[in-house]
A and B are shown apart, each in its own frame.
Chain A
Amino acid sequence: MEKILVGQLAELAPRMGKEIIVGEQKIAVFRLSDNRVKAIENVCPHKQGPLAEGTVSGEYVFCPLHDYKINLNDGQVQEPDEGCVRAYETIVEEDLVYVMV
């Protein structure tokens, strides 16, 4: 596991995602309305939609392509759709945001 620096919390817009590419992995990082930070794989299991561009509501993101609803905590796709994406641990230390990859 590697601790990857995403940037300052202030650089992340609330309820909007940001894509981070680490090696081969595409990761979507989200700052929720309560300033917690979540990270999941940035590829929707349905048609590979970029989840970072989706609408964020509470702890969920809706894929911009076909509205798959995905839990930002565990990457689980919500009913009636199926599937899941990888979820990453995030750390916020003194205004700096990290993702564990």
Chain B
Amino acid sequence: MKEKLVLIGNGMAGVRTIEEILDRDPDRYQITIIGEEKYPNYNRIMLSNVLQKKMTVSEIITNPLEWYEENQIELINHDPAVHMDTTNKKITTQSGKEISYDKCILATGSRAFILPVDGAQLPGVVGFRTIDDTENMLEASQKYQKAVVIGGGLLGLEAAKGLLDQGMDVTVVHLEKWLMETQLDEKAGKMLQADLEKQGLKFLMEKATQKILGDNRVTGLAFSDGTTIETDMVVMSIGIRSETTLARTTTIEVNRGIVVDDFMKTNVPDVFAVGECAEHNGNVYGLVAPLFEQGKVLADVLTGKEAKPYQGSTTFTSLKVSGCDLYSAGNIRETEGINSIEAFDGINYTYKKIFVRENQVVGVVLYGDTSEGNRYYNILKKNESIEEYTPVSLLHMVGEEASADVSEWPDDEVICGCNGIDKGTIMTAINEKDLTSVADVTKHTKAGGSCGKCKSVIGDVLAYALGGEVVSAPTGICGCTDLTRDQIVTQIYAKKLTSSDEVYRELNFTNPEGCPKCRPAINFYLNVAWPKEHEDEKESRYVNERLYANIQNDGTFSVIPRMRGGKTNPQQLLLIAKVAEKYDVPMVKVTGSQRIGLYGVKKEDLPKIWEELDMKAAGAYAKAVRSVKTCVGANFCRFGTQDSMGLGIKLEQRYEFIDTPHKFKMGVSACPRSCVESGVKDFGIIGVENGFQIYIGGNGGTEVKEAVLLTTVETEQEVIDICGAMLQYYRETGIYAERTAPWIERIGFEVVKEVLLNPEKRQELLAALDQAVEGRRGNPWDEVVEDNKTRQELYTVGRA
């Protein structure tokens, strides 16, 4: 027989506790839930959205009836528990049902506090706690004109806004000087009031209600200062009181709420309490986060897991009224020892105030812009010292926003999308293997080892895992050295190192033959530094660049012939078709950059296909100048202003087969419609009536970056020259595998612009480029076809 667990209260705290128990041990208990309301479990917080007609009742149901069925939970609904016998462990409901229990959870929640004044029982005086209350208010709003909400707290204001949205004339009556006085300081409270007044709410501040007027139904209010107000309806929203009626009929200790210890146990064996009805350490919480924290502790206790004692909660609030963004957390009173930092932006009408005690944030109030709420909350919760932060900073640069906080991410949040590595896996690896750098994490988990976009996030996870210890970013280009690209290149010049072996030896790489990361990089730097002296090292190139074909996932290769500017002709198409048929090519596809690719070619067939195609390689396999995309341009298009195809072909011809730190993509459009997407090209041209706009540093792909307008020039020759100068500047200063967008960001756009637009420097770079690539720009396919030794060495398979 399973033990019987009875939950009294079908609300958020209790049902969440049951969910947590089911997560831990779904078969442990036979569960019964007793509820007063006629609905299944719903999200009470969203009632104000229902009142504001932003959501429907069915949308706020969190656990529909099927959930109870699926989990074999008996639901006794619309039938409150009225008696509890803790000796015989029995509960009686209003309809007379008797339910026995082995363990019982009290989660009876709370009720709206109704002011004990004359007339409080009159029809038309309501609380705002349940779906029924909400529906009553909606109904009343159709019949009546005027409403008064007593209480300018969170719930009162949400109720008032809801009624206002239904077309009522709404006045909020508040006892204190400013609204939401427990969550806001005076300034934020007044800002809120001003915003709400703009939306049409009326306020009577510092008014104490003495009497509710009316004979059969409410007609008005009388205040202690002798004034009165007419109204058709009163919403009491001055606070909540724990619902403890049932508990009080037993020997369970009740104070303001049902008294529980750190494990949510009451003084009576096998009876527990969670949520708004529970009092822990003198605190009763009326917010949702603490309820859920309590539920977790109780679930651990009830499933025999080692439970961490509940130690109270730090709470935060935000208001669900559009146009009034506010956020409040922690202690927001300046008492002895607590000082504050505040910032008011009268232009954007935003306000921030941070409360600090002994260098630690203890409270925060935000008004107008709450985007940083989570960040401050984490600082607060972690008791972080604020010494590392700038306390006041005005007008710092746009774009310095704090990154999303990884500490808040769940363990199953995928950090590295390429390899499917989640936060939990990374955290485990960091802890178990004492990892201290991003490179270590990559080595042990693969996260960050593919596209690398997630490296900064891995850094954040690392910092979080190591308790905020500053992680020294790895400076070396790979695991084989601590040297940076600049240090290596400087030494290559200074010591005149002309081969990889020398670099590895002289610069004391820990791995004497390097790794797949540094080998191609060093080879590239040497090629740029010593174009004549250094002999390109095939064994250091990645297979694609060694074989002039892209390796595919099954070990076959692709063949992509060059079609400058994306322009082809019937002869080429016939040849491609013939070859594809003859060699049984499994896939023929138009590529992303306007070329035709043959996919699934066997390595041994590559030289034969190249020979028969008699076309040049498109270079689609290389970190190099790629094919140039063009639109059809002025020759055919009614919008075209320039011969984009012609210019694209010239650019391609002029710079094809030149190695660059990463692929270098170009596009030429003949008008601002930019059909070739010049805005995401490393070098993008847009033809206009008076010439050519040149955009640089646009990248599609892993990290999308929009290209920036460099200049507008009048002639094609200027476009071509600026392109060449940029190529060489990128070759000379780029980090291997760094795209142009991060390169420009690193060097500085203004610096790049100055260099490229200075005619002298441009000519110097162009000359350097031509010298460097002289004799190195032949069609590599031809070279293989003509060179028997290479063919034999690299393109054959031995058979025995």
Q: Which residues of A contact B (CB under 8 A)?
A: 4-7, 11-16, 18-22, 29, 33, 47-50, 53-58, 62, 64-65, 67, 79-81
Contacts and interface: CB of A to CB of B under 8 A. Distances in A.
B516 A55 contact: yes
B278 interface: no
Contacts of A14: 539
B543 A58 contact: no
Contacts of A5: 800
Contact of A16 (B445, B539, B553): B539
B279 to A, nearest CB: 50
B326 to A, nearest CB: 47
Interface residues of B, number: 31
Nearest to B551: A64
Given A20-B797, A48-B555, A13 B539 contact: yes
B798 A13 contact: no
Contact of A50 (B445, B542, B555): B555
A55 B519 contact: yes
A11 B794 CA distance: 10
Interface of B: 443-446, 449, 511-516, 519, 538-540, 542-543, 546-547, 551, 553-555, 792-794, 796-800
A65 B794 CA distance: 18
Q: Which 3 A-B pairs have the closest CB atoms?
A: A20-B798, A15-B539, A57-B513
A54 B554 CA distance: 14
A14 to B, nearest CB: 7
A67 B445 contact: no
B516 A18 contact: no
B479 to A, nearest CB: 11
B515 A16 contact: no
A61 to B, nearest CB: 10
19 contacts: A13-B794, A16-B539, A18-B793, A18-B796, A18-B798, A48-B554, A48-B555, A49-B555, A50-B551, A50-B555, A55-B515, A55-B539, A55-B542, A57-B513, A57-B515, A57-B519, A62-B516, A64-B543, A80-B444
B513 A58 contact: yes
A25 to B, nearest CB: 10
Given A15-B513, A16-B794, A81-B446, 16 more contacts: A7-B798, A12-B793, A13-B794, A19-B798, A20-B798, A47-B553, A50-B551, A53-B543, A55-B516, A55-B542, A56-B539, A57-B513, A57-B514, A58-B511, A58-B513, A80-B446
Contacts of A67: 449, 516
A80 B555 CA distance: 23
Contacts of A29: 798
Nearest to B547: A53
Nearest to A101: B800
A14 B513 CA distance: 12
Contact of B538 (A7, A16, A33, A57): A16
A16 B512 contact: no
A92 to B, nearest CB: 15
Nearest to A80: B444
A65 B551 contact: yes
Nearest to A78: B443
A49 B551 CA distance: 10
A63 B799 CA distance: 22
A54 B519 CA distance: 12
Given A21-B799, A80-B444, A11 B793 contact: yes
A5 B799 CA distance: 10
A43 B511 CA distance: 25
B215 to A, nearest CB: 80
A55 B466 CA distance: 35
A95 to B, nearest CB: 16
A33 B449 CA distance: 27
Contacts of A64: 542-543, 551
